[in-house]
């Protein structure tokens, strides 16, 4: 049927969600907030009213709101009675537009509550009756129980979790598709359970449940420098409660209890860092099916454990999300095979193999090669080695269960016969979040940089936000996610995932009198001192979630934690309002810091600390205002003003210089609004630009300055300088790793040195998202898509073309629907296209047009007009031109630098230093200047020709 042309103007409600979930199954919130999008082609569409209705499974109404006059469509408060444990209902929504048009009822979404109270659990944790040797990895126990179901099953749910990792099976079949469940939370405070619909896996008559447990985060080795075992406990245990509803309406409950049996199986050892050792000869066929003889199995004991700590997940589970085939399989001189997947990733290998019984295959993993062999030094104390012993049957398929590795390469030893590419796959695993944001532009290297950011997020969003996925850390380092959270919230729907992590942060912080651990969950035996930019995650991450998702609930939930952090720092700083004590990470991994002293940055850690103190105090004040806490709002904003004053007094000269004359210091001062007077800001911006220019447009910031530097340059009126930093390909820069073949973001600007060797420092991961925080600038400034109001209720569409790009495009599934901003320059004209989702509005700043924005409502728009990229035609350059003028001309500068590097590499640095002198003057300092001068002269002349 063809619809009449105006039909799509009629609104329809789509993407109905409860909290952050499309399928709200086993949800932990008794009052889940509801969100929806409206699809319509009508322009300027604004919601005038909504109606919500709830039904039970039999279609009986459980309530309706009637027509509610409201434009709210994101995180609308639950309008009905709170859900009871395990309650199931369906909800649907319809809306009215301000144009009077009404939608049909939406497709209903079903919502099913999990176990909402501790006393819903009659199951108890059970653990094998034997005691393991707690000093080293132990075989994984199998636990099982048979049970009889007396009738046909209408519905069945398995609620399950473990102290350790688990995989559950019913009647010989795996339950669900999650891996590494129940994930990692601060187990002392919170442990997630999972809910599975297992209706189709049960039958009338005999059934069996089986559970395999692994050491995982619970008792496996964790932490750098050798780490510790048994951080949360020595005994693995499972908690399982199977609720069965028969077709006659009666029900049955099977729980983990003393009747379960336990034995060891084929997993001889497993560790997240070290890998898994699996002997297929020790498999117990049929162990999780009924009728298996478990007479010789041991019994189990129940473990006391506070069930009030159980919580339902708020984020997506970890799943296998992609399989990669090798791009190359080769043979090493040692005779072992080397497999290259062409992409640095996180997960493990899957083998398909046949060979003699007892043959042992060893798999070692690494992110990089050095002299053709795996570079394993960066892994530190992580063995990253899996072994599989064949059972000797026709074809065996295997992958590990209770480990993960960060790798691009794998070395395979002991493979029977020739290893073919078909026999091996890389299984990519991470929290299976919904992708929401995309970016692309006309520069292939920048696109690859962006792709690398996406891959680093995938690799490090494995249940918690980690620093890196390969070495003996993989910890929830607070500073890393603090700087990366704006990027994360654009690329994927990170709200539920980060809300869970923040709940752990708050729980652990409360235990530490307001101090935030370096990483969450905290595994340190002793408390740490507060560290700026790291501990500030307590304030900044909730604020980012509020900005990007419009979620005031997260501010309410975290407010005490946010405030406690600032109160703690106010105490440390004292009346002087300067945080200049303690141990700080500062502008971690500033490229000017020596490889073995990553904290020795050019910007003093005190400047970083006091700047963050001001920023966090300001944001706690703003959060208080959002929450209607006026007294707190005034108090924290006054505190912030005092800190800014002290900062200015102590660290800023009257001429607008900072006491650390380094880009990070200026970027902090500008972006954290620490300079009250316009005149100071102008001069600080000018100085920042000078420093960046003197650095030859190489990056010179670490974790703290990197997310700010491009914005700071734009705010200083120098977007082209930001583009020069972005487009720089020499080391250090964002694109240097890309030119070296990087497929993820590196921890260091030079994790791989220009000569292809691995950086000798300790911090040499090839998969750290922190320095990828620039992607947020790509989205907001290059693509031009930013939130003007929390949750993108109002968009700021303000693309700033530059850097020689002819096209860029950002698109984002905002809480209100898909938004897009794209620009293309061709034949002297620019075309800007935008999409503004229904029920939102936007301010559009067209490149090269009036400074005043166009205010528009929802819909799709396009503008085309004559446009000349803002290129000032540089004056012809010669040997007598001032150095600054040469640095300013990207082509000339590159030509000059190439020659100087080839001729006299040590000399290259001098070109970035002094100002006010000519190229000739500086080259004359060279022992043999003549030949160099004549080459440079030709190069400058040539670069002038190409330009004109
Ligand atoms: C981690 C970082 C972390 C840092 C703290 C490192 O070992 O990998 O990313 O933030 O320590 O200084």
Q: With a cut of 80, say whether residue 604 has pLDDT above it.
A: yes
Token representation of residue 296 = 């010789």
Listed range (194-198, 235-239, 606-610, 914-918) with the worst mean pLDDT: 914-918
- Residue 448 CA to ligand 1 center (angstroms) comes to 25
Give the mean model confidence (pLDDT) for residues 771-780: 98
Q: Give residue-wise pLDDT tens across range 24-74.
A: 899 999 999 999 999 999 999 999 999 999 999 888 999 999 999 999 999
The 10 Å Cβ neighbour count of residue 567 is 16
Q: With a cut of 80, say whether residue 620 has pLDDT above it.
A: yes
3-state helix, strand, coil split of the chain in percent (to 5) is: 30, 30, 45
For residue 768, give the ligand 1 atom closest to its CA.
9
- pLDDT value at residue 841: 98
Q: Give residue-wise pLDDT tens across range 257-306.
A: 999 999 999 999 999 999 999 999 999 999 999 999 999 999 999 999 99
Which of 480, 583, 596, 608 for mutating ligand 1's site (highest number of atoms within 8 Å of CB)?
Answer: 480
Q: Give residue-wise pLDDT tens across range 109-121.
A: 999 999 999 999 9
CA distance readout (Å), 487 to 586, 787, 811? 21, 13, 13
3-state secondary structure 504-564: HHHHHHHHCCCCCCCECCCCCCCCCCCCCCCCCHHHHHHHHHHHHHCCHHHHHHHHHHHHH
Give the mean model confidence (pLDDT) for residues 307-335: 95
For residue 534, give the ligand 1 atom closest to its CA.
10
Token representation of residue 588 = 């971690």
Q: For residues 336 and 354, give the distance between their C-alpha atoms in angstroms, rounded to a whole number.
A: 17
For residue 480, give the ligand 1 atom closest to its CA.
10
- pLDDT value at residue 3: 42
Smallest CA-to-CA distance from 367 within 382, 352, 357, 355 is with: 382
CA distance readout (Å), 918 to 885, 897, 899, 900? 9, 15, 17, 15
Take atom 9 of ligand 1 and give the residue whose Cα is closest: 467
Which residues contact residue 613 at a Cβ distance below 8 angstroms, ignoring those fewer than 6 apart? 532, 566, 569, 570, 573, 577, 579, 643
Give the mean model confidence (pLDDT) for residues 386-412: 97
- pLDDT value at residue 893: 84
Question: For residues 30 and 118, is the Cβ–Cβ distance under 8 A?
Answer: no
Which of 378, 473, 535, 707 for mutating ligand 1's site (highest number of atoms within 8 Å of CB)?
Answer: 473
Take atom 1 of ligand 1 and give the residue whose Cα is closest: 467
Backbone angles phi and psi of 46, in degrees to 5: -130, 135
Q: For residues 664 and 667, give the distance between their C-alpha atoms in angstroms, rounded to a whole number.
A: 5
Take atom 11 of ligand 1 and give the residue whose Cα is closest: 477
- Residue 536 CA to ligand 1 center (angstroms) comes to 15
Which of 478, 763, 764 for mutating ligand 1's site (highest number of atoms within 8 Å of CB)?
Answer: 763
Which of 467, 585, 759 for mutating ligand 1's site (highest number of atoms within 8 Å of CB)?
Answer: 467
- pLDDT value at residue 853: 96
Nearest 5°: the CA angle 250, 256, 262 is 135
Question: For residues 932 and 908, is the Cβ–Cβ distance under 8 A?
Answer: no
Q: For residues 749 and 728, give the distance between their C-alpha atoms in angstroms, rounded to a whole number.
A: 12
- DSSP-based three-state secondary structure for 171: coil
- pLDDT value at residue 941: 84
For residue 765, give the ligand 1 atom closest to its CA.
8
Q: Give residue-wise pLDDT tens across range 846-856.
A: 999 988 999 99
- pLDDT value at residue 6: 56
- pLDDT value at residue 685: 98
The whole-chain average pLDDT of the chain stands at 94
- Residue 467 CA to ligand 1 center (angstroms) comes to 7
Q: For residues 878 and 278, give the distance between their C-alpha atoms in angstroms, rounded to a whole number.
A: 69
- Residue 731 CA to ligand 1 center (angstroms) comes to 21
Q: Among residues 411, 720, 730, 747, which one is catalytic?
A: 747
- pLDDT value at residue 933: 86
Q: With a cut of 70, say whether residue 401 has pLDDT above it.
A: yes
For residue 762, give the ligand 1 atom closest to its CA.
7
Binning pLDDT at 50, 70 and 90, where does residue 342 land? very high
Check if 473 is active-site: yes
- pLDDT value at residue 503: 98
Take atom 12 of ligand 1 and give the residue whose Cα is closest: 585
Sign of CA dihedral 810, 811, 815, 818: positive
Ordered strands of the 841-844 beta sheet: 785-787, 794-797, 841-844, 854-856
Take atom 3 of ligand 1 and give the residue whose Cα is closest: 477
Q: Give residue-wise pLDDT tens across range 454-511.
A: 999 999 999 999 999 999 999 999 999 999 999 999 999 999 999 999 999 999 999 9
Smallest CA-to-CA distance from 168 within 123, 132, 223, 138 is with: 123
3-state secondary structure 187-229: CCCCEECEEEECHHHCCCEEEEEEEEEECHHHHCCECCCCCEC
Q: Among residues 112, 440, 473, 888, which one is catalytic?
A: 473
- Residue 754 CA to ligand 1 center (angstroms) comes to 23
For residue 598, give the ligand 1 atom closest to its CA.
12
Check if 367 is active-site: no
The Cβ-side half-sphere exposure at 591, using a 13 Å CA radius, reads 21
For residue 471, give the ligand 1 atom closest to its CA.
8
CA of residue 159 relative to chain centroid, distance: 28
Take atom 5 of ligand 1 and give the residue whose Cα is closest: 585
Q: For residues 912 and 924, give the distance between their C-alpha atoms in angstroms, rounded to a whole number.
A: 16
Kindly list the protein residues whose Cβ atom lies closer than 6 A to any atom of ligand 1. 467-468, 473, 477, 479-480, 585, 588, 763, 768
Token representation of residue 297 = 């199995």
- Residue 764 CA to ligand 1 center (angstroms) comes to 11
Percentage of the chain beyond pLDDT 70 is: 97
Q: For residues 38 and 909, give the distance between their C-alpha atoms in angstroms, rounded to a whole number.
A: 57
- pLDDT value at residue 5: 41
Sign of CA dihedral 887, 888, 891, 892: negative
Binning pLDDT at 50, 70 and 90, where does residue 914 land? low
- pLDDT value at residue 948: 44
Q: Give residue-wise pLDDT tens across range 635-689.
A: 999 999 999 999 999 999 999 999 999 999 999 999 999 999 999 999 999 999 9
- pLDDT value at residue 1: 40
The b-or-e profile of 276-299 (16+ CB within 10 A means b, else e) is: bbbbbeeebeebbbbebebeebee
């Amino acid at each position: 049927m063809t619809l009449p042309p105006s039909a799509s103007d009629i609104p329809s409600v789509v993407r109905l969600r409860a909290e952050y979930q499309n399928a709200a199954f086993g949800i932990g919130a008794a009052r889940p907030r509801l969100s929806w999008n409206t699809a319509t082609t009508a322009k300027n569409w604004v919601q005038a009213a909504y109606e919500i209705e709830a039904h039970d499974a039999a279609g009986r109404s459980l309530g309706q709101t009637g027509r509610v006059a409201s434009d709210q469509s994101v995180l609308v408060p639950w309008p009905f009675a709170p859900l009871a444990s395990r309650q199931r209902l369906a909800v649907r929504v319809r809306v009215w537009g301000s144009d009077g048009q009404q939608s049909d009822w939406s497709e209903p979404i079903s919502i099913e509550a999990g176990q909402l109270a501790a006393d819903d659990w009659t199951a108890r944790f059970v653990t094998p009756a034997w005691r393991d040797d707690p000093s080293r990895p132990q075989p994984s126990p199998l636990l099982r129980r048979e049970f009889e179901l007396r009738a046909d099953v209408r519905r069945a749910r398995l609620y399950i979790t473990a102290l350790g990792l688990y995989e559950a099976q019913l009647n010989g079949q795996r339950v669900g598709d999650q891996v590494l469940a129940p994930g990692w939370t601060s187990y002392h405070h919170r442990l997630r359970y999972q809910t599975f619909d297992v209706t189709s896996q049960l039958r009338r008559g005999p059934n069996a449940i089986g559970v395999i447990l692994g050491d995982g985060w619970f008792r496996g080795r964790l932490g750098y420098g050798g780490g510790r075992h048994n951080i949360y406990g020595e005994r693995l245990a499972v908690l399982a409660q199977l609720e069965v509803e028969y077709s006659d309406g009666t029900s049955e409950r099977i729980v983990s209890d003393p009747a379960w049996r336990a034995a060891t199986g084929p997993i001889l050892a497993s560790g997240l860092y070290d890998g898994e050792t699996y002997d297929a000869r020790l498999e117990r066929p049929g162990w999780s099916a009924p009728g298996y003889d478990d007479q010789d199995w041991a019994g189990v004991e129940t473990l006391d454990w506070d069930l009030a700590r159980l919580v339902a997940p708020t984020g997506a589970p970890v799943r296998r999300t992609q399989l990669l085939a090798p791009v190359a399989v080769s043979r090493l001189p040692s005779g072992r095979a080397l497999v290259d997947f062409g992409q640095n990733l996180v997960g493990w290998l899957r083998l398909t193999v046949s060979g003699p019984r007892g043959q042992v295959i060893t798999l070692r993993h690494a992110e990089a090669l050095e002299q053709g062999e795996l570079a394993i030094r960066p892994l530190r104390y992580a063995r990253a080695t899996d072994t599989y012993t064949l059972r000797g049957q026709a074809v065996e398929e295997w992958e590990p269960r209770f480990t993960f590795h960060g790798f691009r390469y794998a070395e395979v030893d002991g493979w029977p016969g020739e290893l073919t590419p078909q026999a091996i796959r890389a299984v990519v695993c991470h929290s299976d979040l919904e992708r929401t944001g995309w970016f692309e532009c006309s520069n292939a290297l920048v696109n690859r940089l962006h792709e690398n950011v996406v891959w680093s997020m995938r690799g490090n969003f494995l249940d918690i936000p980690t620093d890196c996925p390969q070495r003996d850390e993989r910890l929830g380092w607070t500073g890393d996610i603090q700087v990366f959270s704006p990027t994360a919230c654009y690329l994927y729907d990170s709200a539920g995932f980060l809300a869970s992590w923040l709940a752990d942060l708050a729980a652990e912080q409360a235990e530490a009198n307001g101090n935030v651990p370096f990483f969450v969950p905290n595994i340190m035996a002793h408390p740490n001192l507060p560290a700026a930019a790291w501990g500030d995650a307590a304030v900044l991450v909730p604020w980012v979630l509020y900005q990007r998702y419009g979620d005031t609930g997260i501010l309410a939930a975290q407010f005490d934690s946010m405030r406690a952090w600032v109160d703690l720092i106010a105490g440390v700083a004292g009346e002087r309002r300067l945080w200049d004590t303690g141990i700080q990470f500062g502008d971690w991994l500033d490229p000017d810091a020596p490889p073995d002293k990553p904290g020795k940055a050019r910007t003093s850690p005190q400047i970083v600390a006091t700047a963050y103190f001001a920023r966090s105090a300001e944001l706690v004040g703003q959060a208080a205002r959002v929450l209607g806490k006026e007294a707190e709002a005034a108090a924290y904003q006054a505190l912030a003003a005092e800190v800014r004053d002290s900062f200015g007094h102590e660290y800023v000269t009257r001429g607008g210089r900072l006491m650390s004359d380094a880009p990070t210091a200026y970027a902090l001062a500008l972006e954290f609004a620490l300079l009250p007077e316009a005149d100071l800001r102008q001069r600080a911006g000018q100085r920042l630009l000078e420093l960046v220019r003197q650095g030859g447009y190489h990056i010179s910031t670490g974790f703290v300055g990197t997310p700010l530097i491009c914005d700071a340059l734009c705010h200083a009126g120098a977007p082209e300088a930001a583009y020069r930093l972005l487009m720089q390909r020499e080391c250090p820069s964002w694109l240097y790793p890309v030119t070296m073949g990087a497929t993820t973001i590196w921890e260091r600007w030079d994790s791989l040195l220009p000569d292809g060797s691995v950086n000798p420092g300790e911090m040499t991961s090839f998969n750290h998202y922190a320095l990828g925080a620039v992607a947020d600038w790509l989205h907001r400034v290059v693509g031009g898509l930013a939130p003007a109001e929390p949750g993108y209720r109002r968009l700021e569409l303000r693309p700033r073309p530059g850097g020689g790009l002819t096209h860029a495009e950002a698109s984002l599934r905002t809480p209100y629907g898909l938004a897009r901003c794209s620009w293309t320059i061709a034949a002297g004209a620019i075309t800007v296209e935008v999409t503004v989702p229904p029920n939102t509005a936007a301010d559009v700043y067209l490149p090269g047009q009036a400074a005043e924005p166009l205010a528009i409502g929802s819909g799709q728009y396009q503008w085309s007009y004559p446009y000349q990229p803002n290129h000032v035609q540089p004056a012809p350059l010669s040997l007598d031109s001032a150095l600054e003028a040469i640095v300013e001309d990207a082509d000339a500068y590159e030509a000059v630098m190439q020659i100087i590097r080839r001729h006299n590499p040590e000399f290259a640095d001098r070109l970035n230093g002094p100002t006010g002198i000519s190229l000739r003057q500086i080259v004359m300092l060279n022992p043999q200047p003549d030949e160099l001068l004549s080459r440079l002269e030709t190069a400058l002349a040539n670069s002038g020709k190409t330009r004109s």
